[in-house]
Amino acid sequence: MPIAASSTERLRREARAVADVAHLLRFRTTTLSGRRRAVLVGAFAVLTAAAVVVPLSLPGAGDSARALDVLTLLPTAYAGFALLAIVSGVASGGGRELVPHEELVAYPVSPTTDHLGALLLAPLNVAWLLQSWTLLGLVSYGVGGIHLLAAPLLGAVLWIAAATAIGQAVAWLVEGVRRRRHGLGVVRLLAVGLVGTGAVLQVSHRLAPMLDALPTRWLVVGGLHGFDRRWWLTILVQLVLLAGAVVAGGIPAHLAARLVPRDELRAESGSHAPRRTPRSDLGVLLRIDRASVWRAVPMRRGLAVLAVAPGLIALAGALAWEQLLLLPGLVASGGALLFGVNAWCLDGRGGLWRESLPVGPGTVFAARAIVLAEFLVVASGVTLALGALRAGVPTITELSATVAVWLLVTLQVVGGALRWSQLRPYAVDLRSARATPAPPLAMLGYSTRLAVTTTFTSVVFQLLARTDAWAAPLLLAAALGCWSGLRLLRTRDAWVDPVVRARVVTTVAL
């Protein structure tokens, strides 16, 4: 008799997968108190509402040439958001893990559950948050008038959801290819080909016409209609895209689940020739920390995306130096979310061994802070270098503002990340390319706070770059840097306390 699963059984399994996602999500959110969950969700809702309301109060909203230009650029912004969703998903191996795989070995959690959980974790990305708020703000400014926003905003929200689902489906497909024999080479060759194609289109001045002819133009025009037949048709198309992408993404997710992650196994089983031992304790700790970061698969992928993707966008768009000032904060925030917000989890069980070494705790803290700062400086530096290729020769004020905001946001992010790592440590295994260093709601809070802080700082220096006072950005950066440095020293003093250090180490080592 046939033993293949019937269609009814498949439907039951998929329904159970949806229920499993709800159970796992509740399990992950129990690590936060009810009050803190309410604060995080409330802050996210307030900032999202501000992204819609604030543009309405700007001069020219809805009835100016600038508002018309914003509406004209919306199709490109829609396509850019979809590209961001695809690149983010591919870099993280198909998405984020709702619950670490090692904790689910004994439980029958299906790849469909994994796929749906990855969709729910999409807002944990700083770039996703900023792009979503920017997209909503562009729609609000271009349309103008609170009474006219309901239909366009609903269309924009549906596109954000549909583009995220499409990105996850493509990412799972790429992950399935990556896990096959020679798959890594195929994916890398494909990435180089796509970047080369974009460069050729840009040099030949065909990129802008291609962007103007994107199908997202039809969605934007239809979404701007006010609850008429065209608007309902546009909404229906986006709902079909969303549902189709969610369902289709489960197919490559199942295929990828049956294959071995080759790049992760290569990192685990690789051998490295010993080098000469550094002369100082700090040098030894720096070498250990650098190896744990730069040899990890999620760190390498994340660095490539964080450093190269914004730089290529700046290069293609020929962004001016004033606009480039926003990128270091974005890149530094994204880098901190890879591991910095829970920096001590890199040690895992090895943290107990490291505590037994005859090294001062202040030296251990300094090594971790230096390695995190190096990671963020390299990532944002590559982005600035790519953007500078077409930004022209900067004025002395623009140059001083760029250097000042680059170093300042790095210090701010390092100080905040290490403070959070000490206050709220989590036991997380970051060997998986899809692991997150903290529970979902905690990551949402970290993303929101980093996005707001670094964006506000970048906007202030952007305004200073328009003045002739070249020393003003440096003086402001020095003042704010002293405050951030003082907070970092306070975090270091707390780490020296053996009670605090024992709590953190025992937590991440479990």
Looking at per-residue pLDDT, the higher value among 503 and 10 belongs to 503
| Residue 482 banded pLDDT, cuts 50, 70, 90 | very high
What is the 3-class SS of 191-241, one letter each residue? Answer: HHHHHHHHHHHHHCCCHHHHHHCCCHHHHHHHHCCCCCHHHHHHHHHHHHH
Residues 115-156: pLDDT tens digits? Answer: 888 888 777 777 788 788 888 888 888 888 776 778 888 989
Residue 238 pLDDT: 92
Residue 1 pLDDT: 45
- % of the chain beyond a pLDDT of 90: 20
Residues 257-290: pLDDT tens digits? Answer: 888 777 666 766 667 777 788 888 899 899 888 8
Q: Which residue has the tokens 């962004």?
A: 319
Residue 114 pLDDT: 80
- Say yes or no to pLDDT of 9 above 70: no
Instruction: Write down the mean pLDDT value for the chain.
Output: 83
Per-residue pLDDT averaged across 6-28, rounded?
72
Residue 94 pLDDT: 60
- Say yes or no to pLDDT of 32 above 70: no
The rounded distance, in Å, linking the Cα atoms of 239 and 136 is: 18
Query: Quick one: DSSP state of residue 97?
Result: -
Per-residue pLDDT averaged across 38-45, rounded?
81
Domain ranges of the chain: 58-270, 281-510
Of 78, 93, 266, 55, which is closest to residue 161 (Cα–Cα)?
78
Residues 213-226: pLDDT tens digits? Answer: 778 888 888 888 77
Most confident of 22-31, 225-234, 238-247, 307-316: 238-247
Residues 172-207: pLDDT tens digits? Answer: 888 888 888 888 788 888 888 887 887 777 777 777
Q: Which residue has the tokens 């070249």?
A: 470
Inter-residue contact 79 to 157 (CB < 8 Å): no
- Say yes or no to pLDDT of 323 above 50: yes
C-beta neighbour count of 146 within 10 angstroms: 11
| Residue 10 banded pLDDT, cuts 50, 70, 90 | low
Residues 358-371: pLDDT tens digits? Answer: 888 999 999 999 99
Residues 373-418: pLDDT tens digits? Answer: 999 999 899 889 888 888 888 889 999 999 999 999 999 999 999 9
236 burial class (0-12, 13-18, 19+ CB within 10 angstroms)? Answer: exposed
Angle formed at CA 420 by CA 445 and CA 160, multiple of 5 degrees = 25
Residues 45-83: pLDDT tens digits? Answer: 888 888 888 888 888 887 888 888 888 888 888 888 888
- Say yes or no to pLDDT of 240 above 70: yes
